[in-house]
């Protein structure tokens, strides 16, 4: 796991808490802010997932090349 994955998932959780709190106290502005924070966290986590997959695929291809030359 990389820092974008971790930070993104933390922001998703914080946003969901804020969204639910806004719903409970009937504060539409807080609810919308929570949803926005949750969505931004999800995007950051997806970026982290992409980076992790890219790194894994590059490493896999490099290992293939090293083993081919050996």
Cα distance between the two ends of the chain: 31
- Give just the sign of the alpha carbon dihedral 43, 44, 45, 50: positive
- pLDDT tens-digit readout, 7-50: 999 999 999 999 999 999 999 999 999 999 999 999 999 999 99
Beta-carbon contacts of 38 under 8 Å, excluding residues fewer than 6 positions away, are 11, 12, 14, 15, 16, 18, 19
3-state SS, residue 50:
helix
Q: Rounded distance, CA 66 to CA 42, Å? A: 36
pLDDT greater than 90 at residue 70: no
Token pair 């291809």 is found at: 61
């Amino acid at each position: 796991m990389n820092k974008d994955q971790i930070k993104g998932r933390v922001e998703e959780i914080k946003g969901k808490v804020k969204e639910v709190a806004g719903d409970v106290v009937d504060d539409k502005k807080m609810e919308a802010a929570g949803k926005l924070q949750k969505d931004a966290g999800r995007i950051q986590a997806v970026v982290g997932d992409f980076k992790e997959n890219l790194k894994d695929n590059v490493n896999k291809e490099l290992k293939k090349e090293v083993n081919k030359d050996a």
